Amino acid sequence: MAMIATTNLPEYQGPEKIVIRRYSDFIWLHDRLFEKYKGIFIPPLPEKNAVEKFRFSAEFIEMRRQALDIFVNRIALHPQLQQSEDLKTFLQVDEETMERARSQETGIFKKKPADFMQIFKDVQSKVSDAVLGKEKPVEESNPEYEKLKNYIFELEEDLAEAQKHAFRLVKRHKELGQSLSDFGKAIKLLGACEGNSLGKAFSELGSKSEMLSIKLQKEAHNLLMKFAEPLKDYVRAVQSIKATMAERATAFKHQYELAETIKLKEINLDKLMLIRSDKVGEAEIEYRELKVEGEEATKKYEMIVQLMNEEIVRFQEQKTWDVGVAFHELAKGQAQLANEIADAWRSLLPKLEACSSAQT
C-alpha cells in the first residue's frame, strides 16, 4: 500500500516522503510500540478483512487507507511516540530494508500478521477480567481508577451501539439510492410510452429520481467515511485503552507479589541471622537482588500510572474534537441532502399539477 506521510519534524529527511508499506508493516510498528511504551495508548489498527470478496473493493481500500493514515499520523503527533526509532524506520526505509527489519525480529515480534491479530483478540477476550479486577486476589484499590474503568467499558458499549446504527444509516441511504435509480428508469420507460405532456412529466420525474439516487449514494459514502468509520475507529481506540489497562493490572500484580515475597525473604533472613546460619550470605544476596527487582517493578508500575493519567486527558480532548467533527459532518450532510431532495421534488410540482389539471 502506498502511503504519503507529511511532517515538519527535524528528525525526518525532508517534509514529505512516500513509502510503500504492507499491512504486516503496520502491525510490526504497532506491536513494537505496544511492547516498548507501556502506559501509552497506542493508536489502533483497522481489522484485516477476512471476507475475500470485499478485500479489493474500492470502498474497502479507501477505508483501509484512511484508517492507516490516521494510525500513522496519531503516532507522528504523539510527543513520546514520535521519537520512536521504529517510527523513523517505518517512515524512511525502503521496502527491502523494512522486510529485513521484520524478518530479523525474535520472540513475539517474529510472529506472522495473522498471529498478531489472534494475539490481539486473545488479549481483548481477557481484558475485561483483568481490568475489572476479576483475577483475584491481587487488584488495585483506587476509587478514581475504578470510575475510569467503568467509564471506559460504558464508553465502548455506547460507541459500539452508535457505530452499529451509523452503518445501518449508511446502508439505508444506499438502498434508498438504488430504489430511486430503479424507480427513475421505470418511470422514464413509462413516460416514453405516453409521448404527451404527461410523458414528458414522467420522463422528468424519472430523471430527477436518478439524479437524487446519485446524491444519496454520494451522501452514503460521505456518511461512511466521515461519520461511521470515525465512530468505529474510536471503538478500536477504547479497546487499545483496555489493553493498556490490562498491562497496568499485570504491572500492579507483579510489583505487589514481589513486595510480598520481599517481606517473606526479609523475615527469613532475620531468622537465619539469629541462628547464625551459614546460609546468611546467600540469603542476603538473594534478598538484595529481589529488592532491586521489586524497586524496578514499582517504578514501572508508577510510570504506567503516570503515563495513563496523561494519556486519558489527551484521549478525552482528542475524542471531543473528533467525535464533534463527525457529528457536525453528519448534520451538515443530512441538511444539504434534505434541501436538495426538497428542491428536486418541489421543481416537479408545477408540471405534475399542470398534467393533473389538464386531465380534469
Instruction: Evaluate if residue 247 carries a pLDDT over 90.
Output: yes
**68 assigned to some structural domain:** yes
Q: Greater confidence, 61 or 16?
A: 61
Q: How far apart are CA 259 and CA 253, in angstroms?
A: 10
**55 assigned to some structural domain:** yes
The total domain count for the chain is 1
Q: Greater confidence, 328 or 112?
A: 328
pLDDT category of residue 200 using cuts at 50, 70 and 90: confident
Interval 124-175: pLDDT, tens: 555 555 555 454 557 888 899 999 999 999 999 999 999 999 999 999 999 9
Average pLDDT of every residue of the chain: 86
Q: How far apart are CA 272 and CA 233, in angstroms?
A: 58
Average confidence (pLDDT) over 27-54: 85
pLDDT category of residue 298 using cuts at 50, 70 and 90: very high
Q: CA geometry: angle at 230 spanning 84 and 59, to 5°?
A: 100
List the CATH number of the domain containing 20: 3.30.1520.10
**14 assigned to some structural domain:** yes
Q: Greater confidence, 15 or 232?
A: 232
Q: What is the pTM of this model?
A: 0.82
pLDDT category of residue 240 using cuts at 50, 70 and 90: very high
pLDDT category of residue 181 using cuts at 50, 70 and 90: very high
Asked if residue 86 lies in contact with residue 249, where contact means CB atoms within 8 angstroms, the answer is no
Instruction: Evaluate if residue 119 carries a pLDDT over 60.
Output: no
Predicted local confidence at residue 278, as pLDDT: 86
pLDDT category of residue 279 using cuts at 50, 70 and 90: confident
pLDDT category of residue 197 using cuts at 50, 70 and 90: confident
**173 assigned to some structural domain:** no
Asked if residue 186 lies in contact with residue 206, where contact means CB atoms within 8 angstroms, the answer is yes
Average confidence (pLDDT) over 187-205: 86
**Helix-strand-coil split of the chain, %, nearest 5:** 80, 5, 15
pLDDT category of residue 48 using cuts at 50, 70 and 90: confident
CA atoms lying within 13 Å on the CB side of residue 113: 15
Interval 9-29: pLDDT, tens: 666 655 566 778 889 999 999
How much of the chain, in percent, has pLDDT values that exceed 70?
83
Cα 152 to Cα 119, 132, 147, 247, 302, distances in angstroms: 21, 11, 9, 15, 21
pLDDT category of residue 110 using cuts at 50, 70 and 90: low
Q: How far apart are CA 343 and CA 308, in angstroms?
A: 51
**140 assigned to some structural domain:** no
**12 assigned to some structural domain:** yes
**168 assigned to some structural domain:** no
Predicted local confidence at residue 92, as pLDDT: 87
**283 assigned to some structural domain:** no
Which residue segment(s) compose the domain that 61 sits in?
A: 1-110
- By residue count, the chain amounts to 360
Nearest to residue 108, comparing CAs of 196, 193, 35, 14? 35
Dihedral, CA of residue 233, residue 235, residue 238 and residue 240, to nearest 10: -60
Instruction: Evaluate if residue 116 carries a pLDDT over 50.
Output: no
Q: How far apart are CA 342 and CA 262, in angstroms?
A: 75
Q: Greater confidence, 11 or 305?
A: 305
